[in-house]
Amino acid sequence: MRGRATRSAIAASSALLAVIGIAGCNQQSPSSGGGNASQGDLKIVEQVQIDQNGAEVKPDAGATPADPAGDGKATCPPVSIAMAGALNGPDAALGINIKDGVQLAIDKHNAANPGCQVQLKPFDTEGDPQKATAIAPQIVDDAFTIGLVGPAFSGETKATGGVFDQAGLVSATASATNVTLSEQGWKTFFRGLANDGVQGPSVANYLKNTLQQKKVCVVDDSTDYGVGLATAVRETLGPVALDACKISVKKGDKDFSAAVTQVKGQSPDSVFYSGYYAEAAPFVQQLRDGGYTGKFVSADGTKDPEFVKQAGQSSKDAILSCPCGPATGSFADEYTKKFGQAPGTYSTEGYDLGTVLLKGIDAGKITRPDLLDWVKNYNGQGVARKYQWTDKGELTTTLIWIYKVQ
């Protein structure tokens, strides 16, 4: 995800947030990004966009996102765009959100361009690097597939990036945030959001400078995503990150009693959980049941309505950071109408990256080398942000959003 993944403005600062959470989901659910959540009337609400110092940055107003429909005059031979990510398993909601975003872009394009029909070919990795390694050859061996949105998680992206690079296939991830992914020398890797080297310092400085937290326990889930993000958070917090509760748990854990005991022994102002919602939900429940009353903070791996649904009232006031942009305007309306639920975490990025590839196809870039060149030189506005990449596949402009369960 961003491992993962990865939104609106806040009014007045000090009464703000209580807990930051990270998101991921294991089934389709109502969206977070400014949308409706579950568990009574609790929902994930965008608060403020921040820079790496944790300071508020007002969103740009008035920029018009690229329209995947184009002018309706495109012609092309049969081509396809692949999507790879978790579509089943405990973290499936994240992959489904991305897939649906890409699907909406393709459906809008195909409806407007009868002479250029593009197919979406989804591949379910379950977020597992081993499964992704088995699937990657299937994607590159399909001669009709000229671009890929994915993989979704950092571990599976790291395991397969070399395969896509060797095949010359554009691999644009909507949610994988591990910093090292852009340091592998791959020429086909593009990240559609800020990485953990941006998210970690941003949320850490938000805790330290804006929320004035003095003692923070940082807990990671031992995944590529969780460890990478937690490292960036700890390094930025410095002495505010307590060595006595530098905790690692395991993805798949459900019993967090040892971690809860360790946290309570330090009485921190905040607990930052670096992992996915499937573990964040029982962890915050057990923290609250154990009497911890400080802030619970997490990041994009947790920022999904499934976190709220699974954690219930224990999720209230959780603060969640995400490099993901909020779903706004006609995109949010069209997505909700099509899928019967509001856009989720990384739905917007899936839609935007799908649109980038479709604009290339409409411009006649119907081979892998031509589409790769198109993306390398792309410079355009999306729903979530402006998209333009460095030679390492990182965005030239990166900001983080803070959300709150309320």
- The last residue of one of the domains, among 325, 352, 372, is 325
What CATH number corresponds to the domain at position 170? 3.40.50.2300
For residue 51, is it within any domain?
yes
For residue 208, is it within any domain?
yes
In angstroms, the CA 391 to CA 406 distance is: 40
Residue 336 and residue 383 in one domain: yes
Residue 311 and residue 201 in one domain: yes
Residue 179 and residue 209 in one domain: no
Question: Of 20 and 362, which is predicted with more confidence?
Answer: 362
Once rounded to an integer, what is the mean pLDDT over residues 294-312? 95
CB 26 within 8 A of CB 92: yes
Is a pLDDT exceeding 60 seen at residue 326? Answer: yes
Give the confidence band of 40 by pLDDT, cuts at 50, 70, 90: low
**Range of weakest confidence among 3-12, 284-293, 374-383:** 3-12
Q: What pLDDT is stored for residue 328 in this prediction?
A: 83
Q: From 29, 157, 137, select the one nearest 85 (Cα to Cα).
A: 157
Residue 186 and residue 265 in one domain: no
- The last residue of one of the domains, among 325, 343, 363, is 325
The per-residue b/e assignment along 238-273, b for 16 or more CB within 10 angstroms, e otherwise, is eebbbeebebebebebeebeebbebbbeeebebbbb
CB 169 within 8 A of CB 146: yes
CB 84 within 8 A of CB 125: yes
In angstroms, the CA 65 to CA 114 distance is: 22
Give the confidence band of 59 by pLDDT, cuts at 50, 70, 90: confident
Is a pLDDT exceeding 50 seen at residue 271? Answer: yes
**3-state DSSP assignment of residue 154:** helix
Residue 53 and residue 201 in one domain: yes
**Range of weakest confidence among 38-47, 185-194, 198-207, 220-229:** 38-47
Helices (H) and strands (E) in the chain, counts: 11, 14
For the chain, percent of residues with pLDDT exceeding 70? 90
For residue 24, is it within any domain?
no
Structural domain of 291: 44-60+196-325
Q: What pLDDT is stored for residue 90 in this prediction?
A: 87
Once rounded to an integer, what is the mean pLDDT over residues 100-124? 98
Q: From 13, 35, 89, select the one nearest 303 (Cα to Cα).
A: 35
Residue where the block lists tokens 């310092």 = 201
For the chain, percent of residues with pLDDT exceeding 90? 83
For residue 182, is it within any domain?
yes
In angstroms, the CA 322 to CA 272 distance is: 13
Residue 292 and residue 206 in one domain: yes
Q: What pLDDT is stored for residue 38 in this prediction?
A: 41
In angstroms, the CA 284 to CA 282 distance is: 6
Q: Record the tokens describing residue 314, joined without a space.
A: 């224990």
Query: Which residues, other chains included, contact 103 with Cβ-Cβ below 8 Å and sequence gap of 6+?
Result: 120, 354
- Predicted TM-score (pTM) of the model is 0.81
Q: From 312, 368, 362, 331, select the one nearest 97 (Cα to Cα).
A: 331
Residue 178 and residue 93 in one domain: yes
For residue 121, is it within any domain?
yes
In angstroms, the CA 188 to CA 82 distance is: 14
Once rounded to an integer, what is the mean pLDDT over residues 80-105? 96
Number of domains in the chain: 2
Residue 318 and residue 334 in one domain: no
Is a pLDDT exceeding 80 seen at residue 289? Answer: yes
Phi, psi for residue 272 in degrees, rounded to 5: -105, 120
For residue 20, is it within any domain?
no
Q: What pLDDT is stored for residue 334 in this prediction?
A: 97
Is a pLDDT exceeding 90 seen at residue 58? Answer: no
Residue 200 and residue 320 in one domain: yes
For residue 265, is it within any domain?
yes
For residue 247, is it within any domain?
yes
Query: Which residues, other chains included, contact 143 with Cβ-Cβ below 8 Å and sequence gap of 6+?
Result: none
- Give me the amino acid identity at 293: T
Q: What pLDDT is stored for residue 25 in this prediction?
A: 31
Residue 311 and residue 386 in one domain: no
Is a pLDDT exceeding 50 seen at residue 116? Answer: yes
Is a pLDDT exceeding 90 seen at residue 86? Answer: yes
- The neighbour count for residue 115, using CB atoms within 10 Å, is 9
- The last residue of one of the domains, among 325, 345, 372, is 325
Q: Convert the pLDDT of each residue in 355-388 to its tens digit.
A: 999 999 999 999 999 999 999 999 999 999 999 9
Residue 207 and residue 303 in one domain: yes
Residue 290 and residue 363 in one domain: no
In the chain, % helix, strand, coil (3-state, to 5) comes to: 40, 20, 45
Once rounded to an integer, what is the mean pLDDT over residues 206-223? 97
Q: Record the tokens describing residue 77, joined without a space.
A: 């031979």
- The neighbour count for residue 162, using CB atoms within 10 Å, is 15
| Mean model confidence pLDDT for the chain | 90
Is a pLDDT exceeding 80 seen at residue 111? Answer: yes
